[in-house]
């Protein structure tokens, strides 16, 4: 199958990846209600078609936090991407750099921040706050010294959400001989992945935090250690602690309420990501797109507002811009593409988003993404649930 859309890359990734890794990318927490809302609420938004306008010139570029982007899209942090493609974070970072958009490296990426930076462009760096503050301070300093331009502080994961798919697939909770045999069979029955990632994509560790774990070297060992070391005590005051090491822009990721957005402003953040962690944390909360307008109205003049969750096309990007986002970050979309075909597929996926965004802009009469506003939306139909 030749992929024409993000859903096509999803299907190709499902075929190529072992079940446990595909389900880890694809799934959400509990009954996955919020995961579904992220997509459904975007689909429910209607654009206004406008005609007979000179759309010869289109401007999809933006400037944000000192970065010049070719379009208002970035690659969101995705954990363990190196298990979907050989040294996956490096491949995705190269595709993003070629497209002129940012790549944000997860704390729990297989490739370290040093490896990704050595591949060409220092990534935005995503920080989870762990209990070992000394190690976290050193990690932030490493990212800073390598030239990472933005720190993305994820605040909606003081504890991992319950993800039933991971239990059913054997990704978590699997032990003993039967678990080992199931894991081995999952790999053997996916030979392309086995050759590309398992045989030639080592080491399979979480590179940026490898030095913090003294025993065990498998990815599952790292994940178990990290799950036990997420810090539930984190408050807004901890941004001052981060500032002791990091003097660049800080983006707070994981905000769904206007009051929390105002707290982010008071804490001195330069940006925030309206996000429910892709429906992977607290199930039953509102979609990111439905939370976006209230947050944009509350703090849109005070910092940069981004959004992730449910973005599957360039049309979705324009809808989010119309409701107040400066840019959108895609997570599953690039993870699917990476799992489907590595760097080349991520490059094609980004090209698809760009083409879709261009068509949407032309047919709504929007010549510049900087001009995208709520006048692009059909208010007689559902926009965002209040």
Nearest to 328 by CA among 309, 352, 307: 307
d(C-alpha 300, C-alpha 302), whole Å: 6
Handedness of CA 305, 77, 30, 349 (dihedral sign): positive
d(C-alpha 50, C-alpha 324), whole Å: 20
Nearest to 197 by CA among 339, 56, 102: 339
Query: Which helix (H) or strand (E) element contains residue 239?
Result: helix 238-243
Residues noted as catalytic: 277
Question: E strands within 80-208?
Answer: 104-105, 124-127, 151-154
d(C-alpha 367, C-alpha 370), whole Å: 9
d(C-alpha 262, C-alpha 158), whole Å: 20
- The conformational region for residue 244 under phi > 0 = left, psi -120 to 50 = alpha, else beta, is alpha
d(C-alpha 139, C-alpha 113), whole Å: 9
């Amino acid at each position: 199958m030749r992929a024409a859309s993000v859903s096509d890359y999803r299907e190709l990734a499902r075929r190529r990846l072992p079940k446990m890794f595909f389900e880890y990318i694809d799934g959400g927490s509990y009954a996955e209600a919020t995961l579904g809302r992220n997509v459904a609420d975007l689909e429910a938004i209607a654009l206004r078609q406008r005609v007979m306008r000179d759309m010869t010139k289109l401007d999809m570029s933006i400037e944000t936090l000192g970065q010049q982007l070719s379009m208002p899209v970035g690659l969101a942090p995705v954990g363990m991407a190196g298990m979907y493609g050989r040294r996956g974070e490096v491949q995705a970072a190269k595709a993003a750099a070629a497209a002129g958009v940012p790549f944000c490296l997860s704390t729990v990426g297989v490739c370290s921040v040093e490896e990704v930076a050595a591949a060409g462009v220092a990534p935005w760096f995503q920080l989870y706050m762990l209990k070992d503050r000394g190690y976290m301070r050193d990690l932030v300093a490493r990212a800073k010294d390598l030239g990472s331009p933005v720190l993305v502080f994820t605040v909606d994961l003081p504890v991992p959400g319950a993800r039933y798919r991971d239990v059913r697939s054997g990704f978590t909770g699997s032990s003993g001989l039967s678990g080992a045999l199931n894991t081995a069979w999952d790999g053997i029955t996916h030979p392309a992945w086995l050759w590309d990632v398992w045989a030639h994509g080592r080491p399979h560790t979480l590179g940026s935090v490898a030095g913090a774990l003294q025993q065990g070297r498998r990815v599952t060992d790292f994940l178990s250690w990290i799950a036990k070391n997420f810090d539930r005590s984190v408050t807004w005051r901890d941004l001052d602690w981060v500032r002791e090491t990091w003097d660049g822009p800080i983006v707070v990721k994981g905000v769904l309420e206007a009051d929390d957005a105002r707290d982010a402003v008071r804490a001195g953040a330069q940006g925030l990501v309206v996000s429910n962690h892709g429906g992977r944390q607290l199930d039953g909360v509102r979609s990111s797109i439905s939370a976006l307008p209230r947050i944009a109205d509350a703090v849109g003049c005070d910092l940069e507002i981004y959004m992730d969750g449910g973005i599957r096309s360039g049309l979705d990007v324009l809808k989010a811009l119309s409701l107040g986002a400066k840019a959108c970050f895609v997570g599953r979309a690039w993870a699917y593409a990476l799992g489907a075909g590595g760097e080349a597929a991520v490059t094609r996926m980004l090209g698809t988003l760009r083409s879709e965004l261009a068509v949407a802009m032309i047919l709504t009469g929007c010549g510049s993404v900087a001009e995208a506003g709520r006048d692009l939306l059909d208010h007689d139909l559902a926009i965002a649930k209040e």
